[in-house]
Amino acid sequence: MFIQQLYTGCLSEAAYYIESNGEAAIIDPLRDTEAYTRLATERNATIRYIFETHFHADFVSGHLDLGKTTGAPIIYGPETETKFDVHIAKDGESFKLGALSIQVIHTPGHTIESSCYLLKDENGRDHALFTGDTLFVGDVGRPDLSSGNMGAEELAGILYETIQHKILPLADDVLVYPAHGAGSSCGKNLGPQTHSTIGEEKKSNYALQPQTKDAFIKAVTEGLTEAPRYFSINALINKEGYESLDTIKEKALTALSVTDFKKKISEDVTLLDTRNASVFIEGFIPGSIFIGLEGRFAEWAGSILSFKKPILLVTEPGKEEETVVRLARVGFSNFEGHLKGGFEAWATAGEPIDMVISIEADEFAMDIPHDKNLLAVDVRKENEYAEGHVKGAINIPLNDLTDSAMIAGLDDGQNLYMYCGGGYRSVIASSLIKKQGVHNLRNVLGGWAKIKEEKRIGTEKDVSVLN
């Protein structure tokens, strides 16, 4: 028996490779499937099955491309409806994998088709449960994402029955391998570990504690934040199908000269710059939206960018393919190419450039008492703002800055000082605001983390939010 978790940190996503006697199965593959086929080749194994726990909302799965490459069937659990060929397994159906077997356990609640896969060892003993988004370390899947016309409370009630009758009866020593870890928006508060046991979850997971159905529904549904807007798009793509990643890359990796790039900028496109924030602020093509590869790149791209507009890319030379793959993971497929030679080619050609003026926290502290038109803009999430912020700062979460009305509400006569948690989101925010024609802004380097160290800057908590 061989099990390997393939974890992608920027999406907090875990796929799995399971192997026995030269036969392998993949669970919840990402869009780019080379890692799975390469691993199988290195281990002289054949991929026999592709198991999907549900229609993922936070990323586009690699099931179709992997199925075409390997010829392996794509397996979903009961109540699955797709527009492509899959094997819809029955609850309790088993699949042989070498000396092992994998049993389908229908576990609706996160979505109606959600299923877990119970791996049994050579002796038929329960060994590990691959839980998808049904059960996480310290949490369960949120019930408000995607299942037709069902409401969150109704699905939460179904999830309660799933936990009681499908999860809790399992032995304590059964390993738990979920589809996500901390940072994922598929749950409320996932733990830092990427695997656990049934026994550990019975002890520490709030959703597995003895409680009434009503209490469970309340616990699971209260405090849910709005799901990222790309979730519904990704779930639909996973359900209906998509064009191959190779086809997407073929167009996206077209290198454009400065002249050709300028022509395309004049069209209705998204100009995306993925270089490091520290480089971007020093100079960029006017109108660019910054989302750097160094952060949770794909998630922010899915939350901010239009899926309808073609995308033009400016990347660090050599990072073009990585950029395209990571965007494709969350459903982007409409690309017009990238700037050959990157930003340096643009600057060398003498084309106009823009920049983001950035300051250290100590300079921010010196400006506060002297600039009567200063307005601090906190672009963190509401809960982060509530825990502490610059005194007098307004809170406009980064997601909301895609709304032009939000930006229009900022006073042109004010000097905006942008900050976030550590300096990444505030640069994204600055690029969005500057794209709308507002340029009287400063970016606070290091964000709230550095601001807290500067004792001359007054801070406060939002009591109204906390209460």
CA angle 249, 253, 257 (to 5 degrees): 160
Residue 398 pLDDT? 95
Residue 465 pLDDT? 40
Tell me the two tokens of residue 102.
Answer: 């994998």
Altogether, the residues listed in the chain come to a count of: 467
Residue 196 pLDDT? 97
Q: List, as one string, the DSSP characters of 84-146.
A: S--EEPPTT-EEEETTEEEEEEE-TTSSTT-EEEEEE-TTS-EEEEEEETTEETTEE--SSSS
pLDDT digits (tens, 9 = 90+) for 266-299: 888 999 999 999 999 999 999 999 999 998 999 9
Q: Residue 233 above 60 pLDDT?
A: yes
Give the confidence band of 463 by pLDDT, cuts at 50, 70, 90.
very low
Give the confidence band of 103 by pLDDT, cuts at 50, 70, 90.
very high
SS3 content of the chain, % helix, strand, coil (to 5): 35, 25, 45
Distance CA(9)–CA(164), nearest Å, equals 31
pLDDT digits (tens, 9 = 90+) for 144-202: 986 567 889 999 999 999 999 999 999 999 999 999 999 898 888 888 999 999 999 99
Distance CA(19)–CA(23), nearest Å, equals 5
Give the residue from 438, 399, 444 showing the smallest Cα distance to 426.
444
Q: What are phi and psi of 138, to 5 degrees?
A: 85, 5
Distance CA(84)–CA(73), nearest Å, equals 11
Q: What are phi and psi of 263, to 5 degrees?
A: -60, -40
Tell me the two tokens of residue 302.
Answer: 């899915």
Domains of the chain: 2-232 (3.60.15.10), 243-348 (3.40.250.10), 358-466 (3.40.250.10)
Residue 147 pLDDT? 59
Residue whose pair of structure tokens reads 């069209």 in the numeric block: 267
Residues whose CB is less than 8 angstroms from the CB of residue 123 and which lie 6 or more positions away in sequence, other chains included: none
- The pLDDT mean for the chain works out to 94
Axis crossing angle, helix 213-221 with helix 152-162, rounded to the nearest 10: 120
Residues whose CB is less than 8 angstroms from the CB of residue 389 and which lie 6 or more positions away in sequence, other chains included: 378, 380, 395, 448, 459, 460, 461, 462
Give the confidence band of 236 by pLDDT, cuts at 50, 70, 90.
very high
Asked whether the CA dihedral 152, 155, 161, 162 is positive or negative, the reply is: negative
Q: Residue 132 above 80 pLDDT?
A: yes
Q: List, as one string, the DSSP characters of 337-385.
A: EEETTHHHHHHHTT---B---EE-HHHHHHHTTT-TTEEEEE-S-HHHH
Q: Which amino acid is at 463?
A: V
Distance CA(237)–CA(56), nearest Å, equals 9
Residues whose CB is less than 8 angstroms from the CB of residue 218 and which lie 6 or more positions away in sequence, other chains included: none
pLDDT digits (tens, 9 = 90+) for 368-407: 998 889 999 999 999 999 999 999 999 999 999 987 767 7
Give the residue from 181, 183, 117, 109 showing the smallest Cα distance to 146.
109
Distance CA(14)–CA(137), nearest Å, equals 12
Q: What are phi and psi of 182, to 5 degrees?
A: -55, 140
Of 18-27, 150-159, 370-379, 432-441, which one has max mean pLDDT? 18-27
The radius of gyration of the chain from alpha carbons, rounded to an integer in Å, stands at: 24
Residue 309 pLDDT? 95
For residue 399, give the DSSP letter. G
**Which has more confidence, 146 or 309?**
309
pLDDT digits (tens, 9 = 90+) for 53-87: 999 999 999 999 999 999 999 999 999 999 899 99
Tell me the two tokens of residue 318.
Answer: 């050599």
Tell me the two tokens of residue 116.
Answer: 């877990």
The rounded Cα 119 to chain-centroid distance in angstroms is 27
Average pLDDT of the segment spanning 12-35: 97
Residue 145 pLDDT? 83
Is 47:38 a contact under the CB 8 Å cutoff?
Answer: no
Residue 466 pLDDT? 36
Q: Residue 244 above 60 pLDDT?
A: yes
Residues whose CB is less than 8 angstroms from the CB of residue 383 and which lie 6 or more positions away in sequence, other chains included: 465
Average pLDDT of the segment spanning 132-153: 88
Residue whose pair of structure tokens reads 């960029």 in the numeric block: 284
Is 65:26 a contact under the CB 8 Å cutoff?
Answer: no
DSSP run (H or E) holding 83: none
CA dihedral 214, 219, 220, 224 (to 10 degrees): 130
HSE-up of residue 147 (Cα within 13 Å, Cβ side): 23
Give the residue from 138, 148, 242 showing the smallest Cα distance to 183.
138
Distance CA(167)–CA(161), nearest Å, equals 9
Q: Residue 467 above 70 pLDDT?
A: no
CA angle 57, 59, 60 (to 5 degrees): 100
